[in-house]
Structure 1
């Protein structure tokens, strides 16, 4: 009868860690796609539409939200949950992100008068970790 070596790596936990890494990579790709759509919308609305950066960023946030939810539900977390359960949770997490985005864009563009694109990139850097943790543990669990 063979005994298992307690110092040997647990194969199941190794697969789980690899799965977590893959999910995190997918999250980064999905988030980058959503951020790109947000930034493109923001830029078009400011440069071609003449909107103020805060308004344009809010509209861009909405576009990014649709892209993000679709990719996260189907590809990142591969959730089989129903929209009526998942979407309100996702929107709660996004509401916190929108608040953070709004504060950063307002302070950066209106108070500090920094270029809107740079300010938006700062906001993009602050939001993803919070969203990943909340969506992983609550929204799409």
Structure 2
């Protein structure tokens, strides 16, 4: 699955879409990391709580960008379709939150890795899951 993902990133029928998804994901991951840092270091919030809030904030941002750019050819238009897509991506990404938080917790508490580095790894791990279900369900086609 990973090999196919990487191959499709470079060429193939969904290469442009996949590259755009990675660019949007990288951008919003950067925002998520900044928010997490602000919550934990500036706000003195527990890193797991901070990560949960940062994830939810970036879910909305990710949907807006992906709908407008990544999946432009199949974008959700009109209020009903747009809000239905936002709800679907929240379900997809909401079900990925436990995956991301579990990886984050395991790396920080069990392996002693710094929380921001651990969060970056957790984002990557849950990213493949999110892509597959967003393509298949949120936008309903490949």
Residue 124 of structure 1 corresponds to which residue in structure 2? 123
Q: Is the 8 A contact 1:26 1:76 kept in 2?
A: yes
Q: Which moved more, 1:30-39 or 1:80-89?
A: 80-89
Cα distance in 2 for partners of 1:39, 1:115 equals 12
The alignment status of 1:33 with 2:27, answered yes or no, reads: yes
How far is the alpha carbon of 1:125 from its aligned partner? 1.4
User: Greater helix share, 1 or 2?
Assistant: 2
Structure-2-length-normalised TM-score:
0.80
CA contact (8 A) 1:54 1:102 kept: yes
Moved over 6 A (4+): none
Q: Report the count of equivalent residues.
A: 124
Query: What stretches of structure 2 of length at least 5 have no aligned partner?
Result: 1-11
Aligned partners of 1:109 and 1:119 also within 8 Å:
yes
Give distance in 1, aligned partners of 2:46 and 2:33: 14
Could you tell me which runs of 5 or more consecutive residues in structure 1 were left unpaired when the two chains were aligned: 1-16
| Backbone CA RMSD of aligned residues | 1.5
- 2:40 aligns to what? 46
State which structure, 1 or 2, has the greater radius of gyration over its C-alpha atoms: 1
Please point out which of 31, 34, 56 is paired with 1:62: 56
